[in-house]
Amino acid sequence: MDAHLVRVVAMLEEAFPGGIADEDRLPLLAVLSEGLSEWNTGVVGSAFPGVEHHRVMNDAARPLSRAQRERAGVLRRRLAGAGWDPDED
């Protein structure tokens, strides 16, 4: 895994020390896809046990419900507290 993706995984571990709840998975993938390519979103998402790369890529492309979009805002702020900046080069 590339170094910049290792840093993203570390941010996820810091922001979500208890793991990522099932209901937060899709909104979080949407947040990650704001700053990562589809492929890299799959790489980062599959870094967690029991998650397959191709499933993450497919799920990241799914549209979100209104509730999931609202939840994505909460998760975005939580991840930003761990250093996430989708505009960082």
Between the CA of residue 32 and those of 4, 57, 84, what are the distances in Å? Answer: 13, 11, 9
Determine the Cα–Cα distance for residues 85 and 54; give it in Å rounded to an integer. 24
| For residue 89, pLDDT beyond 70 | no
Per-residue pLDDT at 88:
72
Residue 15 belongs to domain spanning = 3-80
Task: Confirm whether 62 is domain-assigned.
Answer: yes
Mean pLDDT of all residues in the chain? 88
Phi-psi region of 55 (alpha: psi -120 to 50; beta: other; left: phi over 0): alpha
**pTM of the entire structure?**
0.85
Calculate helix-pair angle for 25-33, 66-80, nearest 10 degrees.
60
Instruction: Using the structure block, give the residue that is written with the tokens 């937060």.
Output: 24
Per-residue pLDDT at 11:
94
Fill in the amino acid letter for 85: D
What domain count does the chain have?
1
Per-residue pLDDT at 84:
94
Tens-digit pLDDT profile for residues 39-80: 898 889 888 766 777 788 888 888 899 999 999 999 999 999
Task: Confirm whether 88 is domain-assigned.
Answer: no
Task: Confirm whether 85 is domain-assigned.
Answer: no
